Amino acid sequence: MPQPNMQKMLKQVQRMQADMMAAQERLKDEVVEATAGGGMVTVKISGDLDVKSITIDPEAVDPEDVDMLQDTILVAVNEAIRSAQEMAERRLGSVTGGLGGPGGLGGLGLPGF
């Protein structure tokens, strides 16, 4: 049985790492949007989980019910984070062939994974 070419494997891992870092950079420019409360609150978040904006529709807000507004904001932010994470997993998974997730290349101690 032939021995694996370690130099070739190392080059492949280095190329995959460079592709992964480039994909992570591109995620900073991609934005997902989530709404809650029937459009009362809209949150935009980048693929690297940076909240870009929170918009509150003043027509839909009861100024006497701050608790509901706070809950609605939480729901929208959490939905935006979930959507951004799913987007990132799809983008990064296409680079690594699914190896970049939990238990994947990150377990090898490679930076950026």
What contacts 24+ positions apart, CB below 8 Å, involve 27-35? 27/87, 27/88, 27/91, 27/92, 30/87, 30/91, 32/80, 32/83, 32/84, 32/87, 33/80, 34/76, 34/77, 34/79, 34/80, 34/82, 34/83, 35/76, 35/79
Going along the chain from its start, the domains and CATH numbers come out as 30-99 (3.30.1310.10)
User: What are 63-105's pLDDT values in tens digits?
Assistant: 788 899 999 999 999 999 999 999 888 888 877 665 555 444 4
pTM summary value: 0.64
